[in-house]
Structures are given as C-alpha cells and as structure tokens.
Structure 1
Amino acid sequence: MTEKLNLVDRLFESYNYKISKNSTKEVRIYTLQYGMYHAAEIISFDENTDVSIFKKELSDLGYATDIKIVKNIEEVEEYLFEGFFIKTPLGNELKNRYKNFVRKQLLNLPEKSHYKYIDSDFDFIMQNKLGEVTEAKSYSSKDKSIITKINELFTETKGALFIIIEAPAGFGKTCTANEILNSITVENSKKLPFFTELSRNREARVFKHILLNEIDDQFPNGIKQNVVLEQIYKGRIPLIIDGFDELITKDSNKKDVESMLSTIVDLLQNDAKIVITSRKTAILNSEEFIETINSSIEDFSLARFEIKEPTIENWLHSERMKFIEDNGFPINQISNPVLLSYLRNIPLEKLKEFLTSKESTLIDKYFDYLLTRERTRQNLKLDNQTQFRIFRKLNRFMSEYNFTAETKETIKDFIKDYNPKILQESLKKYKPEEKPSIEELTETLSNHVFLDRKSDGNVGFINDFIFGFLISENLILNKFQEHYKDNFTKIIPQDFAQKSIEASRIQSKENKIKLWTVYNNHNFGYDSEFYFDSDYLLMNKISRNYNQLFLSDRIIKDLKFEKYNFENCVFAGVTFENCIFSITSFQKSSFQNCKFYNCNLLNKTSIIYDDFGIYVCQDNNDFIKDINSLYSKDNDIDEVLDKKVLTEQQVLQQFLQVDIKRPKPRKFSVIKMRLNEYSDREINAVIDSLIRKEFLHFKDDVGFITREAMNYLNHNNN
C-alpha cells in the first residue's frame, strides 16, 4: 500500500499539487493554487470510505473540491491527463489550428473555393523492434489513403513508433502533417497531439532546445515540461514535427545531425508515437542515420513513408482536365500544387479567358490575380509590381541571413526601414479620411497574402513556391548581383536556390533560360545534384560533364544522356521515362533499384560492367536485356575458373550486426566493399535473386533484410 501511495503522490506532485497534511493512508488530499483559484482533489481507494468531512472542511476554506474513487494507478494517470489536457481549451486549439491551416490554403484561391486533401500514391516500409522488415509495399491512393495507413499504425503498433514521411518539395508533406493532426480527435482517441512546424530561425540552432521551447510555448504555464514529456513517452501526446529538414543545411555537420536524430530517439520510449516530415535528403539514408536508429531500434518500430508525385488526375476532375487539354494547354507540364489548386478552383468561364489569352503565362495570371485581390482586400495603394519589389527585398534579406521565418516585429521593421520611399508615395494615394499611418501600413503588409504566421508565432513566406519564385525573380532581374556585387554567389543557400528551380518549372521558356544562365555562368559552389536539376528542370537537356553525381528517388522524363560524360555517378531509386542513353557517356557509374520505362540505347557497343552497372532494376521493354548483352565477355563470371561462388547466405549475412543475430540496414557501397573479392556483377546477380525471393528490400541505395530472410538464415545456421 505504501508503494502505491508514493506513486500516486508523485503523480500529483508532477502536476504541481501539494500533499495536504490531512491526508491519510485511506484518503489522499492534494491542493493546487492558481492565483486566486484554489482546488483540492480528494482521492479515495475504497468507495465505502466516508470522505464528506474532508470535503466540507476544504469547501469551507474556499477550495473547489473533486472526489475521485480509484482502483489503480492507471486510473489516476487518466484522471489527471484528462483534467489537465483533454478537458481544457487545448483540444479546441487543435481544431482551430487545422481550421487556420485550411483558411490559409484558401487565401491563395478564388472565392468560394473548397479545401480538399489530395491523396497521392506512396511507398511504405516497416521495421519491427528486431530491425526486420515486416512490410515493404507501394500503395495506390485509389486503394488506401496515407492518412488511413498512419492511423492504423497508431492503433495497431504496440510500443513506441517512429514514423518518417518523406517527399520532394511540393508533394504535400505539410498538408499530410495537418491531416494527421485533424484525424486524431481528442474526444474519440483521448489523445492530444502536439504539432510543431520548424523553420530556419537564425536564433535557434539546437534542435533539442527548439523542441523543449515549443513544448513550453504551447502548453499552459501550470504544466511542467517533464509532465508533457512523460505523456509523450506514454503515447497520450503523439508528436508531429513538420519540416524536420528545415534545420538541416548544406553546412550542417555530422555532429549536428546525430544530435537531432538522438533527440528524437531519446523520446521514443514506452508507447511514444512520433511523426516527422522531411523533404528527400541524403541525411535519412546516411551512415549517421543508420547507426543512430540501429543502436536503439530495440526500443521502437520504424515506419517510413514516401509520398509520390501527385498526378494531374489526383487534382483535377476529368471534365476540367479535358477542357484544359482541348484548349491546347500543356497540363502535364504542371506538377506544382499551388497552381494545380488554383486550376482546380478557378471558375470555368475565368479559366477559359485565361487559356485563350496569349498575352501572359499562367504564372503571370496567377500572381496578377493574387496581388490585385490583395489591393482590394487590404485597401492597398500599391500596384502589383511595387508589391513584388517589397517582397523581393524581404526575400533577399532572408537569403543573406539564411532564415525562413522571423518575429512579426522584425518583418515589420524590415518593411518599414527598407521601403521608406515606396511607403510614403503609397500614402499620398489614400483619401484623407482613410489614410493609414506608416505603422498601420507596415502592419497591413505584414499580413500580406505572400506571408504566413508559423506555429511558433514567427512570420515567413506562405509556401516554397512563392519563396522560390522570388529568388528566381531576384536573380533574373539582377537584384542579387546589384546589391551584393561580386559576393552574390555566396548569399543564396543551396536549398533556397533549389526552391527557385522548382518554382520555375512552369515559368516561360525565356525566364527558364535566364535563370539557368545565372546559375551556370557563375560559381555558386553548389553540388552536382543542383546543377543536374537546373539542366533538367530548366532546359530539359544535359549541359555539362558530371563527376560523383548522386541522384535518388525521382522521375526523369524525356531526357537524352549523350554528348556529356557521367563518371563515378550513382542513380538510386530513379524512374526514367522515355529517356535515351548513350552508354559510352558513362564511366564507373551504376543504376541501383531504378525503373526504365520506354527507354532506349543510342549506341550498342561493348561495355564494361563497372561503367554501366545495373543493380536490382526493372524495365517494360528489352532495355536491361540489351544492356546485359553488351557487357564484355572477359567480365563474365562463368568464365572465371577456380573461384569461389558467392552464396545467398553470404550476402544476407552482410545485413546483420557483428553478432550475426540482429539485422542492420546497409548501404550498397558498404556491401560491395565488404564483398570486394567478388565482382560487382556477381554481387548484383545474388542480390537480384534475394529481392525476387523477398529476402531483401532496397530503399534508394540502402538495403533492408526481411523477416523471411531472418527465418531462412536461422534455419540454415541451425
């Protein structure tokens, strides 16, 4: 009984209660004071115990009293959690957060638009606490929603669960995170999700501090940080972290990344449920990630989702699609969700007007619509180009200091200090009776449609599309060059530059060429992946030689790989559609877990396997068969005499820990290094066989061993 009393006492004390000296072994009394409000909880372990005398005494002293008969410690925990979390305004704040998110999505759309979450296809891989892959599957959005699958995992997974949702920019990570939040209803689940949206804040660099500060900010002062953490461990507060990659920059060192991952892993105790969203980043396939996860995998299950590119059919009804196509608009060239959402909601008569106009591009029409409406909505006396000027300046400021959100006061100060002439000229256009002050005008501009208040209260651009578009505008108009002279190539972080390329996919051909020219005529110091993207997305052709290029998990369409060389390059999880390959352009390069659809060879000459290595790939024609027929005969393993044959068991054992008992994911490069006495072609042949048997599963260049493989190894070892 004493131990039980001590546990109950500690529980109440963790919520800032004090133990009343009138408590007995049969009845515990806990008091709590919030300013003028005094509360008392009378806890009895026996319903036959008379507690009326305690209640009268406390009521006479002015305490609001509650009596609770409990049978076990779990009841006490539930009682306190409901009282401090569920039955509070926090539940309504969650609903309001989602409503505000939806409202912001509609800000950029025509009146009477409706918000709808767009489901996409997704890949899914699940590892249990033993590190074994228990499911690896691609799901069609027609068969199952990613939200449904995640809620199934929340319900069915015993113990701690770590969910990673990856997708390139614009594929719906933030929408998915908010949809998960909305799907966890406080009333039905008795859970209170905690949602935080990260941004590149230059004052906060240590992830652990950011997370703890967010907890302090979002929960009432009376609730201690350790109480919230305890409820996270117990799964009552699922943690949703949107934009994990925002804190990862090109300059992030190994120690920073390991610290971020360790902070999350440390929270994965008991029944914790943690979801993070991130753009596709090599960090999540790195040795640091593998080691950090693998050292603690016994404490939690790991589920990884990868959202595939939404199709036009996901966004637009067939009737509207036909209407757009019949008017000769290249709808298949648009994958940007901001513009697709606009096309989805614009009235048909307005859409017809846009499609038949030859004066400007769709993107021009979109911005003209937004900024013209903003002038009416906020009574702004600033023409559209002047509005652009103000926010291009803000965009340059964010790039220079490498942040994506700041306090509203900082944003207002910037607008006021860097645009004095513009603001003064604007004030002259107002009627005397409606003329605002400079402070009121900067307040209005800080609420502009281009901007958004983030979950931490800071303000940044509403989405990556507008942020990236403004970067490209600044470069095309020579604004970075003008204001930063010879130093302008050092001002723009690579991930910011990447956003400019993504946003420019639907720019006019002329502006695409201009942006490509800026990036390729100056030394920005970005990695080869960036320059490949600039070639492909802006010019749709290869324009340079590439060395040590690593491309993963993307779709490449209608591209010719010729004229320029690819040396020491790796393509992992890439889908090639209607591409043409000159195999003589590749040296010491490999294709891992790739798909070749309707692809062809430009020349069919003899090649060395190491120059154009095909590992675990598939096609829909004879592309791979043709490649295999071209490999030099002196590389044929069947002709090598007196050599050990590589077995499936040997390969599978490379995916185990040192103790040969537990699985461990391995990068393909590590496997080749560990089996260096065998040729790459031999290794690939065995791995190909193991994948067909579902003993191995590859995500990009990382291989995972399945439960079936472990059973096979255990049986053969015995």
Structure 2
Amino acid sequence: MKGDEPKLIIVEAAAGYGKTSTAYEVLHKYANIEMDIRPIFMKLEKDRSANTFRYLLLSHIDRDFDIQLKNDIVIKNIKNGRIPLIIDGFDELLSKDLDEGKQDTAFGEVETMLSTIADLLTNRAKVVLTSRKTAIFSGPSFAEWYNNQKEAHSTFSLIRYQLDSPTIEQWLPNGRKQKLPFADSSSVSNPVLLSYLRYCDDKDFKKSVKTPDELIDNFFSFMLRREMERQNLPLSPSEQRKIFSHLACIFGGYGITADARSRVKEQIGEIAYDVIANYASSSQDIDNITNSLTNHALLDRKGCSNVGFINDFIFGLLLKDSIIEDGTNPMYHEFHQSTPNSYLAKAILASSILGEETKSSFWECLKKECKLYSEGQFWADILLKGETKHELSSLYISDCTLAKKFIGNSEEPLKQCTFANVKFSNCVFDEAGLHRCYFISCTFDNCQSINEDLALIFMDCDFYNCDSWIKGYPQDDATEDICLPDNEKEESLEVKILQKYLKVDNRNRRMKMISKVREEFLDNSKEFHKCFERLVSKKLLCCNGDKSFLTDEGFTYITSKL
C-alpha cells in the first residue's frame, strides 16, 4: 500500500480463510496512520437487488461522506490516494454465467466492473479487492484485460496475493496438537475450526478431536449452547441448526448472501413457526424468539441494514445439511435445484474436511438435488470422492494443491483439460482417462501411474515447463541451438511464437498465458510444443505458472528477425 504509484491489489482465498479479516486489518492499519487519509470500506453482498458496481460505489460514497460533499470530489481524492478503496467480496457480484462455465460471458460482466476500478487507478490511487479463488483472476481473459489496460497507457501496478490454508503448527500449542488423532492433519486446517480448537476448554477439546464429523458437531453444539445462554434461547442446539440449514437453503436458492434484516426475520418466522410456537410463553412470545434468532451468532450484519451468515464456511456446512436432509421436501428441493454452483462450491469445500462416509453421502445427494456444471463437478468429485468420476472437457484448473487424489478415469475421461501451476502430491494418474490434457508449470511429488506398464502406451498429454509423473517423460527435445534452426519452417514457427509476446508496435513486450498461446497453434500442436519447450530451455522465454514472458535474450532475438 506504500509508494506513489497507483496499485490494484487482489487478495484471493478459499471460504473462511481470512479474506474479510485481511480487509479489516488493512482498514485498521490506515486508522492508525496519522495522516490525512480516510479509506472507503465496501463489503459487497449479493442481495435481491440487481445493483451495478458503479451504483454501489456511489451509494457508499453518499453514505460514508457528508451529503454536501459531491461524488466527483470524493472520486478525485480516491485517484489522488487520499481515500484508498477497500472492496471485500468482489466475487459476490459475479453472475450465474461463471457457475455454468461460461468464462467469456462471465468475464464480460467482470470486465465492466474492473474497468470502473481501472478508471480510478491514476496518480496515487490504491484499490484492494478480496475475492474467493475463481478462474476469473487466474485465467487468460484477465491477463488479456490487464495487457489491454497497459497498452492504453494505464500506469497502475497489479499485485495478487493468495492466502493459503493455515497450519495446525501456527494455531495450536504442542500439547493440543499432539492429541489430534487425525491421520491427515490438513483436514482441520481451517481458521474457523482452528480458532475453536485453540480457545475451547479442555473438556470440549477432548470431545471434539475424535473424528472430523464429531469436531463439526461439537463446534456447532458449542456455538448453539452458548446462544441458549447468551440470548436465553429455549430452542435446542439441533433445532437451531435445522432452522439455519433451512435458511442457508433459501439463501442459496435465491442466490443471495445477505438480505434485509426484516426479511430474514420474516423468513425465519415462516420456516420455524411450529418449533418457535412450541416454546412461546408470556415471557417470550413468538416475535421475541424470532428476533433472538435473527440476532444469532451464526448471522452477522452486512452493510447498513442487511444480515447474512457469519462466513462462507458456516454457510457451506449448513447448506450441506439441507442438501442431505431436505431432499424429500418439494420446496427445499426446488431451492437446491436453483442454487448457483458458486454457492455449492462453498458447501463442497466446507464438507471436504468431513469423514469419508459423510462426504460420500453428500456427493450422492448433490447428484440428485443440484445442478453441477463442469468445474463444480470436478471439485465435487475430487474433494468428496478423492477421484475424477465424470467425463469433463475443457476445464482450466490452476493455482491449487491436489494431494492423495486419483486423476483420470478410463470410463469417464478428462478431455482437453488444462492444469496450470498445480501441485500434485501423492496422486495416482490413469493415463487412459486423460485425453489431450495439458499440464503447465505443474509439480508432481511422489506421484505414480495406476498401471506403470501401460502408462506410456496411453499417455496423451503435453507438458509445458514441467516434467510429468513418469520418470524420464517427456524426453528433452530442446537440444537444438535455437539460433541455428534446421530449416526455414522451424525458424518461421519460432518467430511466430515469439511475435505473440510483442505489442503491435513490435517494440514493447507483453505477458502471455501459455494456454492462450497454445490455442493459436492447435493445427500444429506437436511442433508448437517442441518449439515452445526449446525456446524456454534456451532462455528466450521464461514462465511463471501459466504466465510467460520474453527474456532480454528473447527480445533481442525476435527483434533481429523482424
């Protein structure tokens, strides 16, 4: 956040991993700086209205600043760096197109929002965005948008941070860490659970560490028992959890993450009327109990007047409860059918820490209750079943770690899928279930083939800037001197590839996504692959994940050929 140049800072993380906490920490740091700086904090929540990002920005300006202070004065100070803009939950405004795998359509919508932000990024402006990890910011469309901004003489810098999952060592003292019975300690590497395990008393800790399912149940029981004391709630923990699982189902069906407090209260009153009525008395009538549930610890105020779930992890677990338990109810089944994949992803990720039986049950219920599109189905298979189980095409999976998974299924293969900057650890690959897939800048730690004798026979994948899980494959083709090509055709291909990294003036370089460059040479894919690897080995191109750049040597070489 320091420096005089304009900056767009993107913070990405999975549900419950600290995006909002990071945004508030940035806000807190500004509050402690003794200078004439006053940030705007925008917490975006998808409610029932269809407001544009620009409208929301102007609404925040009107609300946060004196009504007599005109919008253009505030915007001028944003551009000058005196009013940093912190936007939490940028992904909340994304449409259903992204869920359905329509990346180009979805990015068209994102591009409008980003262009509004880019217009502010002049002089000393600072804008911070937090977002769940999506293909939007790691995909080729975003890289192309940023390149276009630079070509249009925008001067802002782009900085991306990814918040990784916390470790038990960072959160728990040795005494408690050693008592965890989980074979895979990463199963509880979630800030919400680690906070509970760190601060609960010894009695609750002993009850919670037997199995992953008991950990979740005891965590909810602890929270809900506390509400019975704090608010004198007469409802049992199981009754409270059922009410909020129904509320999560309704939020998912409407595609919202928050709603007006009055509507949330009304909704709770409708879905829990019979239960609440059983406990109503002269000292606590129905309205009083309903009001207490609307003030529940599982809910939080969002913005001025909206209420939503306290975080995505809690929302995801409660939505999972509803999908498993409420399928026979026609109303809830209809809500499940309407739930966007981005909301289902929160339930899938939150449920990935549970026991195998519960995960398998949830996976089966997802098939019956919900409509999963390609990427959502991939993650449901991987996180809940530990293997790919559906035929899927043209996926783009990037910037993640897959551990102890089975990749590829000969009966339900992955076709023309791209894995970029993925860390595979202790995975097993079925080459017969991988048709023309691409691995870009991936790593393979202790991985193997399901059938080593047949692995090379069925191998039909290309590897860019990385080796494969098979030792010695692919063989190093980059032995020729790039400056002395064997023939004019080879030199022509080199020039064509390197030219993609020059701007239209042929004088300035630009970053390109390897996956995007590859698509432009599909008719000559084998020759392109060999040539590209040779360019990298000769240090004319350098790679960082799916991103690739011309080196100084590469720039000198290509300009000499033009």
Fold-level match, TM-score > 0.5? yes
Deviation at 1:482, TM superposition (A): 1.0
Spell out the pairing of 1:165-244 with structure 2 (5 A cutoff): 165-244=11-90
Deviation at 1:212, TM superposition (A): 1.1
2:266 to 413, 435, 452: 413
> What residue number does 2:464 align with?
615
Deviation at 1:569, TM superposition (A): 1.5
The answer to whether the aligner puts 1:370 opposite 2:223 as a matched pair is yes
Query: In 1, distance between residues paired with 2:557 and 2:542?
Result: 12
The amino acid that maps onto 2:297 is V
Query: In 1, distance between residues paired with 2:408 and 2:245?
Result: 38
Give a deviation string over 1:548-604, Cα, whole Å, max 9, x none. 232222111112235432221111111100112222222111111111111122324
Query: In 2, distance between residues paired with 1:506 and 1:304?
Result: 27
Contact 2:493 2:531 (C-alpha < 8 Å) held by counterparts? no
Contact 2:252 2:336 (C-alpha < 8 Å) held by counterparts? no
The answer to whether the aligner puts 1:422 opposite 2:275 as a matched pair is yes
Contact 1:329 1:355 (C-alpha < 8 Å) held by counterparts? no
> What residue number does 1:493 align with?
340
Query: In 2, distance between residues paired with 1:691 and 1:279?
Result: 35
TM norm structure 1 = 0.69
1:436 to 284, 290, 302: 284
Spell out the pairing of 1:502-513 with structure 2 (5 A cutoff): 502-513=349-360
The answer to whether the aligner puts 1:393 opposite 2:241 as a matched pair is no
Query: In 1, distance between residues paired with 2:307 and 2:537?
Result: 47
1:663 to 502, 509, 521: 509
1:688 to 1:333, Cα distance in 2 relative to 1, 3 A: farther
> What residue number does 2:319 align with?
471
2:297 to 442, 446, 449: 449
> What residue number does 1:598 align with?
446
Instruction: Please list every run of 5 or more consecutive structure 1 residues that lacks an aligned counterpart in the other structure.
Output: 1-153, 632-637
Contact 2:78 2:84 (C-alpha < 8 Å) held by counterparts? yes
> What residue number does 1:271 align with?
124
Contact 2:42 2:88 (C-alpha < 8 Å) held by counterparts? yes
1:417 to 1:661, Cα distance in 2 relative to 1, 3 A: same
Spell out the pairing of 1:280-359 with structure 2 (5 A cutoff): 280-286=133-139, 288-297=141-150, 298-299=153-154, 300-324=156-180, 327=181, 330-355=184-209
Spell out the pairing of 1:534-549 with structure 2 (5 A cutoff): 534-549=380-395
1:662 to 1:167, Cα distance in 2 relative to 1, 3 A: farther
Deviation at 1:491, TM superposition (A): 1.7
Query: In 2, distance between residues paired with 1:553 and 1:162?
Result: 20
> What residue number does 2:101 align with?
none
1:703 to 502, 523, 548: 548
Deviation at 1:689, TM superposition (A): 5.0
> What residue number does 1:257 align with?
110
Query: In 2, distance between residues paired with 1:304 and 1:387?
Result: 39
Contact 1:657 1:663 (C-alpha < 8 Å) held by counterparts? yes
Cα RMSD for the two superposed structures: 3.1
1:240 to 1:717, Cα distance in 2 relative to 1, 3 A: farther
1:709 to 1:610, Cα distance in 2 relative to 1, 3 A: farther
> What residue number does 2:308 align with?
460
Contact 1:197 1:456 (C-alpha < 8 Å) held by counterparts? no
The amino acid that maps onto 1:164 is I
Deviation at 1:678, TM superposition (A): 4.8
- SS state of the match for residue 390, structure 2? coil
Q: Which structure's CA Rg is the greater one? A: 1
Contact 2:428 2:447 (C-alpha < 8 Å) held by counterparts? yes
Contact 1:261 1:289 (C-alpha < 8 Å) held by counterparts? no
1:245 to 1:412, Cα distance in 2 relative to 1, 3 A: same
Instruction: Name which of structure 1's ranges 186-195 and 683-692 shifts more when overlaid on structure 2.
Output: 683-692
- SS state of the match for residue 573, structure 1? strand
> What residue number does 1:672 align with?
518
Query: In 1, distance between residues paired with 2:538 and 2:558?
Result: 20
The amino acid that maps onto 2:190 is N
1:485 to 1:308, Cα distance in 2 relative to 1, 3 A: closer
The amino acid that maps onto 2:239 is T
The amino acid that maps onto 2:352 is R
- SS state of the match for residue 296, structure 1? helix
The amino acid that maps onto 2:158 is L
Instruction: Please list every run of 5 or more consecutive structure 2 residues that lacks an aligned counterpart in the other structure.
Output: 99-104, 478-483
TM norm structure 2 = 0.87
- SS state of the match for residue 453, structure 1? strand
- SS state of the match for residue 296, structure 2? coil
| Identity of matched residues, % | 34
Contact 2:462 2:529 (C-alpha < 8 Å) held by counterparts? no
Query: In 2, distance between residues paired with 1:401 and 1:472?
Result: 16
1:624 to 1:189, Cα distance in 2 relative to 1, 3 A: farther
The count of corresponding residues between Structure 1 and Structure 2 is 543
The amino acid that maps onto 1:579 is C
- SS state of the match for residue 365, structure 1? helix
Deviation at 1:501, TM superposition (A): 0.8
The amino acid that maps onto 2:248 is N
Query: In 2, distance between residues paired with 1:691 and 1:257?
Result: 36
> What residue number does 1:551 align with?
397
Contact 1:354 1:362 (C-alpha < 8 Å) held by counterparts? yes
Query: In 2, distance between residues paired with 1:552 and 1:667?
Result: 12
Instruction: Name which of structure 1's ranges 374-383 and 187-196 shifts more when overlaid on structure 2.
Output: 187-196
Deviation at 1:339, TM superposition (A): 0.8
Deviation at 1:374, TM superposition (A): 0.7
Query: In 2, distance between residues paired with 1:359 and 1:176?
Result: 27
- SS state of the match for residue 501, structure 2? coil
